[in-house]
Structure 1
């Protein structure tokens, strides 16, 4: 932990707001002081903060959790400015400058925008500025309806090549079972694999004003672990939590990354990109991709779904409809429909010309 220089810190709605929806100013001030101290020690810190919708609820005394999309977007618009204004006030007391960065999913799905965002954040670090990041809830329909800042924090950690992701919440970490239901549930201090069974047992929601829960935190852990980045879930109510974690104190749950991190390009293909279609493959092709690291050849393709062009990212699924990989295709959907099931030496005859033998080369293919 002491060697981690670039750190992403994500705080949930329960950290920065009271149950009433009003901003928790004491918690925000404490958080700003701790992050300012981390930066003064020579670290680069990026803060991802939920709470815009909750702050909007508190600002206009909205009676309950918003239910419709227009309500959520309007409350996010009201609350986001208030949220950042308070952060700016608290950080300035410690001589720190902050920058608001609002992101949408298309930043991660478009390679050029992805690189621009990476360069912008890197420059902010060079300037000694602390980026405060949130999803642009007012326009990001999918985020408000289905998404969460846990996933955003994981994708951002990959984007900037972070050394550590810390998710602060109102829980002590990952438990063997839901401690609110099972008093015998025990805290898991170390997790080396986020299994399907673990995900299935963790489909819980957070507070009434949040959009996440333990399931989304585990999904975030899978992303960063694959990319070689450790992640910690810890309780925001612990005093001096950030300094204690980065001093190596064993608090919360540490998710240990895999030994072979995915390359940055494959990170983008696997987690940043939005698939433009699907390719269904047979069992032989699925095994070759999963276990032997092979390219996808036309002979293993069963069918194509959707319309896409050369160079776009597609989802590769097996015959049980399980996504096993994403890849950047060398042929359009129409061309793949023609050569599907055929051997590579038949491509030129079927299409009139050929530039590639592989539909997706293994260098442009990432397991998910």
Structure 2
């Protein structure tokens, strides 16, 4: 089956809608655009798919009501705009879906909700339960409380994380661009890339940053598409104005081929979602064992410990030259590990003989 047929037939789909697709600086939310998108979403759901919407636009929707002339740059004003705009945004989605008798459930997340394992599971349960109750989850970053340190950076990355969180079969990124180009299409001469099978297809591609209303841009969409594809989820990047075709046949835009094997939820969390709280420096033998043979990490191969962390935290693993080679869930506190470095399992007390990081909790970069 072709990648586009796979996306078109996906049973569970996450759709991300960009700010520029549903808002303007002058007038805020454009309900006609939202209605057109919901028409396309409803058609896909009537065809048998579950749908989760990741919607940008809270800050954009709050600009006009607050009398602002452009997207604010300072955090406090962004949060104020989001607090006003989020009400209008979820109401607009609710009113539009109500035309089809659909109930909307709002889910606001911060990066911390995904990075911490307990909150990660809670978010997953909430989204799963909403879908089981036949409500349409509308997800957004909680801009009213998210600080610089707790932001996803853009809703494209959030959409990729949500797609894995709910076990989606496809991710569709809708914005004001109709696909991935090898240059800036506004300058002419750029070529639309029909399909991305792997990193080699992206050689020479120049991706820009966000526009007047959003924080994303082609760079963030490309990063999110690669993140999702790397975890086993195929991706379609298309224009919001072409939502019907994107969701019905997936014959437009740029398709990203997913890796053959789906990454487990735990390994995905370790690799892409979790914050790291320290690092372990390995000798050459440990690097070979971890990367070459997929073995568990033992204390004997660790030469140094950086940071303050506790058992169950995620840490970076570094080669002798300092390069980061992997991530893993550590079994010991930093203070415990300090006295274990370089010691063989036989030299340790019985309660300290389990691996520092088990192979099942270890993901290479």
Distance of 2:320 and 2:203 partners within structure 1 = 23
Shift of 1:325: 2.1
Check if 1:237 corresponds to 2:234.
no
What residue is the counterpart of 1:190 in the other structure?
195
Q: How does 1:218-229 map to 2 (within 5 A)?
A: 218-229=222-233
TM-score (norm 2): 0.91
CA RMSD of aligned residues (A): 2.2
- Deviation per CA, 1:193-228: give whole Å up to 9, x if none: 246x94995452121121111222222123212221
Once the two structures are overlaid, the 10-residue window that deviates more, 258-267 or 156-165, is 258-267
What residue is the counterpart of 2:324 in the other structure?
323
Shift of 1:320: 4.7
Corresponding residue to 1:210 among 204, 207, 214: 214
Distance of 1:189 and 1:343 partners within structure 2 = 53
Contact 1:199 1:215 in 2 (8 A): no
What residue is the counterpart of 2:4 in the other structure?
none
Aligned CA distance change for structure 1 residues 202 and 306 (closer, same or farther; 3 Å): farther
Aligned CA distance change for structure 1 residues 271 and 134 (closer, same or farther; 3 Å): same
What residue is the counterpart of 1:270 in the other structure?
271
What residue is the counterpart of 1:367 in the other structure?
364
Corresponding residue to 1:175 among 167, 170, 181: 181
Once the two structures are overlaid, the 10-residue window that deviates more, 213-222 or 280-289, is 280-289
Distance of 2:360 and 2:152 partners within structure 1 = 31
Corresponding residue to 1:102 among 103, 108, 111: 108
What stretches of structure 1 of length at least 5 have no aligned partner?
A: none
Aligned CA distance change for structure 1 residues 334 and 144 (closer, same or farther; 3 Å): closer
Shift of 1:267: 1.4
Distance of 1:148 and 1:82 partners within structure 2 = 20
Shift of 1:263: 1.1
Aligned CA distance change for structure 1 residues 145 and 117 (closer, same or farther; 3 Å): closer
Shift of 1:287: 4.0
Aligned CA distance change for structure 1 residues 291 and 173 (closer, same or farther; 3 Å): farther
Q: How does 1:1-368 map to 2 (within 5 A)?
A: 1-20=7-26, 22-142=28-148, 147-181=153-187, 183-194=188-199, 198=202, 201-238=205-242, 241-242=243-244, 244-348=245-349, 353-368=350-365
Contact 2:21 2:33 in 1 (8 A): yes
What stretches of structure 2 of length at least 5 have no aligned partner?
A: 1-6
Shift of 1:283: 4.2
Contact 2:14 2:52 in 1 (8 A): yes
Shift of 1:20: 2.9
Report the 3-state secondary structure (helix = DSSP H, G, I; strand = E; otherwise coil) of the residue aligned with 1:354: helix
Report the 3-state secondary structure (helix = DSSP H, G, I; strand = E; otherwise coil) of the residue aligned with 1:232: strand
Shift of 1:266: 1.1
Shift of 1:357: 4.1
Shift of 1:165: 0.4
